[in-house]
Amino acid sequence: MNDFFNNASVTAFLGAFFAFALVIVTDRRRLYRKRLVLRNVIADNGDHAHFKLDSVQRNLELVSTGNITPAPIMEFPVQAIQQLQLEVVDILNANQNQAISSLLYWMTEIDRQLNKAAEKAEAVISFERRDPENPEKQHLYGEYKDIMEESEKNLNNVLELIGHYVSGHPELIKEFTHE
């Protein structure tokens, strides 16, 4: 048996095999680490959604006092989540993968709504400068308020969905229904 391990070919083979095994284990460990990073990024987006919700609620308070602000609200970093999802897709289960896709959809739509609201606010301010008595201004105020109220509901929904994902229950995201 001692002669078997004294053979240079066997020693080279065993060295290569164990190096290969180490690489496989290390790569797998990196994937699981990235999956944890993905979960943390999604959790961070929950904090981001809270800040967005606060901004939307403050803007709705401004509308109730007859004021409006065209300040844009920072968008969700959906590209970062998409990239991480693609990198770890082979170790995500179907519920996790579908839940992340659903979250990305919600985040993108909320950003689209808030950008539309900022455009409406710009239009209202433009009317106020040119013709403060224009009836179109009130119509735009109403549209702005409707968009912000819908955004508020959607942000509350996305906060609930993020909570499900972070708490380890992505299957609840698939069962979620929008009211």
What is the tens place of the pLDDT at every residue in 156-167?
Answer: 999 999 999 999
What residue type is assigned to position 10 of the chain?
V
The confidence score (pLDDT) of residue 71 equals: 83
The confidence score (pLDDT) of residue 90 equals: 86
The confidence score (pLDDT) of residue 114 equals: 95
Residue 99 structure tokens: 């839940």
Q: Is 44 helix (H, G, I), strand (E, B) or coil?
A: helix
Q: Does residue 20 belong to any structural domain of this protein?
A: no
CA separation for the pair 21, 15 (Å, rounded): 10
| ∠ Cα 57 60 63 (to 5°) | 155
Low-confidence ranges of the chain (pLDDT < 50): none
What residue type is assigned to position 119 of the chain?
E
The confidence score (pLDDT) of residue 19 equals: 73
Q: Does residue 42 belong to any structural domain of this protein?
A: yes
Q: Does residue 52 belong to any structural domain of this protein?
A: yes
The confidence score (pLDDT) of residue 2 equals: 64
Q: Which domain holds residue 136?
A: 37-175
User: Is the pTM higher than 0.85?
Assistant: no
Overall residue count recorded for the chain in this entry? 179
The confidence score (pLDDT) of residue 1 equals: 55
CA separation for the pair 122, 72 (Å, rounded): 10
CA separation for the pair 44, 19 (Å, rounded): 37
Q: Does residue 16 belong to any structural domain of this protein?
A: no
Q: Does residue 95 belong to any structural domain of this protein?
A: yes
The confidence score (pLDDT) of residue 138 equals: 81
What is the number of domains present in the chain?
Answer: 1
Q: Does residue 15 belong to any structural domain of this protein?
A: no
Q: Does residue 30 belong to any structural domain of this protein?
A: no
The confidence score (pLDDT) of residue 179 equals: 64
Q: Is 51 helix (H, G, I), strand (E, B) or coil?
A: helix
Q: Does residue 137 belong to any structural domain of this protein?
A: yes
Q: Is 42 exposed, middle or buried (0-12, 13-18, 19+ CB in 10 A)?
A: buried
Provide the Cα torsion 5, 7, 13, 17; round to 10°: 10
